Chains A and B, each alone.
Chain A
Amino acid sequence: MSSNAIETSGLSKSFRGVRAVLDADMHVPAGSVYGLVGKNGAGKSTLLKLVSGLTPQDRGTVCVGGRQLRPGESDPRLGVLVEAPAVYGRLDAFENLMNRALILGLPDPRAACREVLELVGLGARDAGDGRRRVLWPRGTYVDDLSTGQRQRLGVALALLGDPEILLLDEPLNGIDPTGAAALRDLLARLNRERGVTVVISSHVLSHLERVCTHYGIMRGGFLVRELTEGELADACATYLTLRVDAPERAVAALAEELPGLTVRVLPDGALRVTAPGGGEPDRRVLSQALLSAGVAVSELSVSVPDLEAELVRIIDAREPSRAAGDASAPGRGRSA
């Protein structure tokens, strides 16, 4: 069996001639928290809908836990929240959960509904006087709930039936900071304690960097890159940028004098220098090595990029072509 909880190959979908997802090869390791990152319209929701079977693909394959799904087929191991929560507005929260629990054929639907409501912080709470207070009284239509409350209900619906894999599309939208933090903790706990694989899409990167172990970056319908938390951390290593009068001579000198450093010549002729382990290169030693090689340094700056900045840099790179079958499309290659 594959070690990937989700694996897609060449997954593509277009709507009325506009391609939403192109040749997506997604690899979500079992037990990971996979953050799907991209701007609005990058194809994150469509990709999740294709994986969940809510939208049948035009071509490509989806495997969940090693089993290949037919187009439009869903796997019972998935718990899904894509776009707005799928709820009946004129039923209350508990009734919506009961409907889903009955569809899933859960042995004790009422208990399951109460459990997930508690998990997302909407069940009975201690009122402080020793009594338990139910937060959502029966009879309050879902239509009358706030965006955040509906979103929590959506997460509760996704959690019903103890899914092995959670697909959550922008689950923290509309939730207040306290609630968002609690939900992040819940996802981390489910991942840690129950081994639930979580795929979570968001354009709010700060939501992801605290929980994700893997990242997939979408741009213009392409899954342009997949990388682990470690690889992203490496990409976020502190680096020096130098402007010198003879870049090629400088590269040769540094390679000879300081072989541990990684030196890259940028398109504008500047040098980017990184030290092994992500630490800051020793500026004094570096300057001496260049001076002894007769290279004059006109500018030297230190950059300490954070994870969000690095992700933004990847996302904001040049938009790839959406032409059909574009062999040069970035979705064809990846680093992870």
Chain B
Amino acid sequence: MRNQLRAALYLLLHDAYPKGAVAITALLPLVFALTTLIPGVDPVTFEYVLSGAVGAANFGASFAMVGLVAHDLASGGLRAACLAPRGRQRYVVSRAVLAGVVSVALMLWAVVFSAVLLVFPGVYVAYSDALGELVGVVGARVLVAWAYATIATLLTWVSRRERGMGGVFLISLAVSAGILGLLVQTLPVMVAQLFSQELGSALLDGLRFVLLYPLVESFAVVDPLRSVALPLVYLVAASALSCRLWARRAV
């Protein structure tokens, strides 16, 4: 397992998509900060800049992982992984762990870069006594980004298609921006509402409880237990499905 992880990290450092993810994570808060330089524009809070950076990092984690596995698919490079002892399972697990590494690294980068942007005169800390809470929010977002990246990786594998940057971008956006979650929620609720308004409402409440995207609708941790448990459930489920997918797939 250690070997597969070392190789995965090597790929991570040499692939273009993770570098793109680092740039994307920096881009949004930088735009926020730069706009404050325009005369007449109001200053922005550090929390606002950080929320933008964390949201971008959330997308970036999926973007980096989908890009990496797209390169795996395109090159047949994953054959190399599968030829090692217990290669198939370890390949999947290495990619799941890598998604975690990418999520943590990008979130840290988001925090550091947002802090650097405090040098802009238009960026200020509004709630200095709530910084501890911010740490909790960022920690919870790491788990969500990790789960999203693992789900996006699974979807890329399932599609079996080699993808260019456009495809990588769309998959990452569909998963990490909650578009997929919204679809999963809306379609059954619409069908249920055809039969009964109450059934539709109950289904909506149920789905919002089990779906990931409501967790990141606001920049706060509303339900700490669910914020931790739900991403972990998705993470484990997506990893298990991936292992099953690769167990008998020709490469």
Chain A contacts to B: CB under 8 angstroms: 49, 52-56, 71-74, 76, 78, 80, 82-91, 95-96, 98-100, 102-105, 157
A58–chain B nearest beta-carbon distance, Å: 10
Answer whether residue B251 sits at the interface, using C-beta atoms and an 8 A cutoff: yes
Closest 3 CB pairs of A and B: A86-B79, A105-B3, A102-B7
Answer whether residue B74 sits at the interface, using C-beta atoms and an 8 A cutoff: yes
Stretch at the interface among B80-88, B122-130, B140-148, B209-217: B80-88
Chain B contacts to A: CB under 8 angstroms: 2-4, 6-7, 10-11, 14-16, 71, 74-88, 247-251
B248: chain A residues at CB < 8 Å are 56, 71-72
A3 CA to B79 CA in the complex, in Å?
A: 28
Pairs A–B under 8 Å by Cβ, sample size 5: A72-B247, A76-B84, A87-B76, A88-B77, A103-B84
B6: chain A residues at CB < 8 Å are 102
B79 touches A76 (CB 8 A): no
A90 CA to B74 CA in the complex, in Å?
A: 11
B64–chain A nearest beta-carbon distance, Å: 14
**Nearest opposing residue in chain B for A87, CB measure:** B75
A53 touches B82 (CB 8 A): yes
Which residue in A56, A84, A89, A103 is a CB contact (below 8 Å) of B4? A103
A98: chain B residues at CB < 8 Å are 10
B80 touches A105 (CB 8 A): no
A88 touches B11 (CB 8 A): yes
**Nearest opposing residue in chain A for B87, CB measure:** A74
B16 touches A103 (CB 8 A): no
Q: Say whether, besides A99-B10, A103-B4, A89 and B83 are in contact (CB < 8 Å).
A: no
Q: Say whether, besides A56-B248, A103-B4, A76 and B14 are in contact (CB < 8 Å).
A: no
**Nearest opposing residue in chain B for A78, CB measure:** B83
A88 touches B75 (CB 8 A): yes
A80 touches B83 (CB 8 A): yes
B14 touches A103 (CB 8 A): no
A76 CA to B15 CA in the complex, in Å?
A: 26
A87 touches B10 (CB 8 A): no
B4: chain A residues at CB < 8 Å are 103
Which residue in B71, B82, B84, B247 is a CB contact (below 8 Å) of A88? B71
A74 CA to B246 CA in the complex, in Å?
A: 14
A88: chain B residues at CB < 8 Å are 11, 15, 71, 75, 77
